[in-house]
Structure 1
């Protein structure tokens, strides 16, 4: 027979467990933070890194291509000069040949002997004739060398331009391949996010391996590269009154980072904000990150400046991929203030 005391102790234990479970983000039925969700999130993050590397390679290749183009242009300029030189050499050769013919250089030696009248005159004529022949030979040799050099340089010019074209094609293929893979993975990730929002429950956090980073200050912008869209206080049909945050237009899957150190006080799905994360900072302010496609933290987690806490998306009441960022004096909506001067005052200017 079981002891009544054991049953009495079991009740508080169960209550504690149920309380702990209640504080964690709920998981959609049949889904976990592991498996395909984590793989897709990790794939997107990895492809972003690959895209960054590809962009660096593309830029390096573009600079190299510009150098090659400059080299090819210099070779073309050299070819132009060489062609002009060959034209001059051919004209000189023609003049020498005509002068030699007019001076009797084409007559046989016997005819020259008969016509010379004296041996001295004949020897002087032969000397002139030899000098003329030497000039002709030198001119022909110089012309041949110039033409050979021109042919070699023309081949170099063709090879230089072909190298430029090959490099451009290689870089374009590389970039397009990564962009295509990234676009496909982005929308797979967003599909999972839409399913979570429709179910009103968040999948577990995905843990992403991020490259090592170092931040100079204690505060950063919520995304690294972006274009600003809807500003704080702006009007529009999408909001009941005024826009309560600053929107950062970024592609789906862009890593979203905590603007400063703090603790995650909310991870939720559903509603106008879609998938969102709220962080409380040590100075008492709260920051919200909304319309996410995935989260990489759990409620209660401590986060550091710049730590990845999610991936941007277009979940909830959103007309396109972007991050909705708010600064609040409480964790709830309705207490927002303009985040742009707030970040600027902390050394993280937006713009």
Structure 2
């Protein structure tokens, strides 16, 4: 092949790759702490390709779980030490949740960076699909330190997810009621654990890169910049928010990470409980996406979704309450784990939306 023809082909491939639509990875997670020590972990769930059919599900302590491994064989089996509740996707994957000890976490898309262990049939008894990771953590551990120790006993292997057609590429953020937070990623077949000093997670690339990138934004502030002079010309802020000049506004993972970190660091001081939950919702609502912007939006099938952000969920790890709203109904709903009998002997579930319609409260008659 001539050099000229080689370059023509390369340019053609590059042009096609630029023009083709690509899914945008866009979930955002944060940790927020109130004055009374309330630790809230929350996340948005973006996916535009199909309806995730989210449910709230609760599993009692003693529940038996079994993960699959490549080839359809049986992988690790275990019984839940702790009862847990969370958002169940496609009737099979707990993607975000909290257990009765207050340990909370979520799994986030990490396509192109998650490198799972090569499957070894001789180690099937300690091997699991990526989709089982959060259920395993929440059903077995009460603290971040326990999670760190427990990860060494399992192998996450590349089981093809039936909905995605590939192994679920993930990393995860885990938070406990003491405020400890970690990010779990997979590199070279091993689980890599990072302490999370900023309480934020998005998607690609790796978490350590995201922390390094924050050093480009150390000038950001929630206060206006000071009046100054350039020569004889006075420079003053044009409007409020001048301290955040330079904050990236696009929806790529690095930009959302910077924006989420800035919003968490400059968040309103809260008392705890519902006050902290309200502030966390305020922050996460600014990351909502349209259906065409979100994860898996390319090649969307089935009925059109109202939004790319299918739901937003918050976990109050102190008071053991899960709060959420959805793309169909912005009303905040709650599930109080302290009122669930986690020795009930059976799993319970319900759709996030009993009716997929916004319940509008008409207040015209209350005008005085």
TM over 0.5, shorter chain: no
Structure number with bigger Rg? 1
- Return the structure number with greater relative CO, CA threshold 8 A, min gap 6: 2
TM-score, length-scaled by structure 1: 0.21
TM-score, length-scaled by structure 2: 0.21
